[in-house]
A and B are shown apart, each in its own frame.
Chain A
Amino acid sequence: MSKDKPASINSEHVRILAQLLQETDLSEIEYETESLRIRVAKKTHVVTSSAAVASLPPPASAKTPDAPESPPDGTVIKAPLVGTVYRAPEPGAPPFINEGDTVKKGDTLLIIEAMKTMNPVRAPASGTITAILVTDGAPIEYGEQLVIMTP
């Protein structure tokens, strides 16, 4: 840029440069004399000099969390260990619980398989199952919400 006064734009210069840009297939040409500097570029983002500060990536997850936005009231039963959750004692068998069932303290709600061992998840108190938040055979993390029940 001119240090003293803004130089009048010489459109001929720009036109020549633009033509060169097409011919050479370059993305950018900068032409500078003592009094002026012209830069022509095909894509505007090429000449932006301030790089946007990269924002931190969100935490990755083994799968997309599908927890309800506002979980229903009640006691939330969370996974006591990482593993694969099963709703029935064996494939094809009826599930341990369905929504709306009443259970007694100590009843098995689900099974979590880890290292080929089956770990029953039991009801901490007697009550009614209001929501089952996991699907049969799904991998679950430690602390993931499994079941919601009300007394």
Chain B
Amino acid sequence: MFEKILIANRGETALRIHRACREMGIHTVAVHSEADSDAMHVRLADESVCIGPPPAHASYLNIPAILTAAIMTHADAIHPGIGFLAENARFAEMVEEHNITFIGPSAEHIRLMGDKAQARSAAIKAGLNVIPGSEVLPHNDQQCRKIAKDIGYPVIIKASGGGGGKGMKIVHDDKTLKEMIPLARSEAEKFFKNPDIYLEKYLNPTRHLEVQILCDKHGNVVHLHERDCSMQRSHQKVIEETPSPALNQETREKLCAAAAQLAEKIGYVSLGTVEFLYSNGKFYFIEMNTRLQVEHTITEMTTGLDLVREQILIAAGKPFEKKQDDIIAYGHAIECRINAEDPQTFTPCPGTIDDYHAPGGLDVRVDSALYAGYTMPPWYDSLIAKLIVHGKTRNECLMRLRRALEEFVIDGIKSTIPLHQKIITQSDFIDATYHTAWLEQFLKDHEI
């Protein structure tokens, strides 16, 4: 087992990992930028090393500085946390080259899943559904019509060289397809200097579902059930819950089995999350995250497992003790991501926390690195706290969430607590009929 783990992260993520380490009797090394000298993860760690100036590229993404800190402090493993270097295959490789254990999957798996096209073909090979789509469209109307018909309308035209929604066109019939193809080509040329376009089935409304998987070095592969992350704004998750209220038991089992099947087929080791879009009773693989997720907490609440602890044990070569049938998800759990942002405009609001009071009570968990008097630096992610509640039923969970949000005090800066309070009173949330586009529409129609 490891004696000392260097945590290459900051904020509540670093704290989360620190907590697992301390409970396992492992010493921790915090690395930090000059802007984070007073941060909670630095205060609580056994040792700390300042690795660079405030900008992330010079500190938390500075591979040589982090490796030097690990060597200097004699850390025998590095936990990359979430974000920053967590999905950097080169970093994982360099850590191992220095005889330090990377707490995560192999560089090879990070690389495979980091490449969208490769990840898609790996999923197809493993027998998973992917969103039906075409190769680059030919310059022939009749052939394009045939391709669209095979996929099935509605379809979406996407730029091969693009992303971020630019140049995308939703098409419902042959006539519009003929009109839109030349337009999409010229936009693709303009935005991405590449006129190539392709078709994909347009799914609407969709829910964003994901399955937590856990694989050890001894061939044990299990799933820890699904999470529903459909409450999103600008592709950022806002609220997550488990189990998904959108699934029946049969589909749930198929979804979870598909995720485990992919992990098994590619020989994956460590924690991972397989993400799907779910629409009209069908689910489609979209990507796999080869790391810990922000919302792992709700899975911990229902399964009673400490995922970071398990991740560390796996990296140390220990076999996972439980079999699939021993993993029982109990009750319902919801996480609210609380950001230091204006709840209406979503402008980040860094500053000094004048007062801080976290809610408590039965089945309420707050993961946060805030404290009264802490000054939030403007350089990093705006996530400041995760409020996680658990209940025997979804209804109990919602009631508990409401009262926990009422108790939460973060003064001195603006936070998205009012947004969460508003969302949870909406009938679409209470009835669980929301989907991935719901929140953005709601924000257009309502003042928070």
Contact residues of A with B, CB < 8 Å? 56-62, 81-84, 114-115, 139, 141-144
Contact = CB atoms under 8 A, between A and B. Distances in A.
A82 B65 contact: yes
A81 B52 CA distance: 7
Interface string B217-244: 0000000000000000000000000000
A83 B68 contact: yes
B67 interface: yes
Interface stretch (B43-51, B205-213, B247-255, B409-417): B43-51
A57 B59 CA distance: 24
A114 B68 CA distance: 6
Contact of B47 (A58, A61, A83, A114): A61
Given A59-B37, A82-B51, A114 B65 contact: yes
Given A82-B69, A83-B68, 13 more contacts: A58-B43, A59-B38, A59-B48, A60-B42, A62-B29, A62-B47, A62-B73, A81-B52, A81-B64, A83-B72, A84-B72, A115-B64, A142-B59
Nearest to B30: A60
A56 B371 contact: yes
B138 interface: no
Nearest to B98: A115
19 contacts: A57-B43, A60-B44, A60-B46, A60-B48, A62-B49, A62-B73, A81-B52, A81-B65, A82-B49, A82-B51, A82-B72, A83-B68, A114-B65, A115-B68, A142-B51, A142-B59, A143-B34, A143-B53, A144-B50
Q: DSSP class of B's interface residues: helix, strand, loop or mixed?
A: mixed
Given A56-B43, A142-B34, A61 B65 contact: no
Contacts of A142: 34, 50-53, 59, 65
B48 A62 contact: yes
Nearest to A119: B64
A5 B64 CA distance: 74
A59 B43 contact: yes
Nearest to B373: A56
Interface of B: 29-30, 34, 37-38, 42-53, 59, 64-65, 67-69, 72-73, 371
Contacts of A115: 64, 67-68
A58 B47 CA distance: 11
A57 B40 CA distance: 9
Given A56-B43, A57-B43, A114-B64, A139 B72 contact: yes
A56 B47 CA distance: 15
Contacts of B52: 81-82, 142
Contacts of A60: 30, 42-48
A112 to B, nearest CB: 9
B57 to A, nearest CB: 14
B8 to A, nearest CB: 13
A58 B43 CA distance: 6
Contacts of A143: 34, 50, 53
Nearest to A138: B72
Contacts of B53: 142-143
Nearest to A63: B47
A98 to B, nearest CB: 26
Nearest to B59: A142
Given A62-B72, A114-B65, A115-B67, A141 B50 contact: yes
Contacts of B65: 81-82, 114, 142
A104 to B, nearest CB: 27
B355 to A, nearest CB: 15
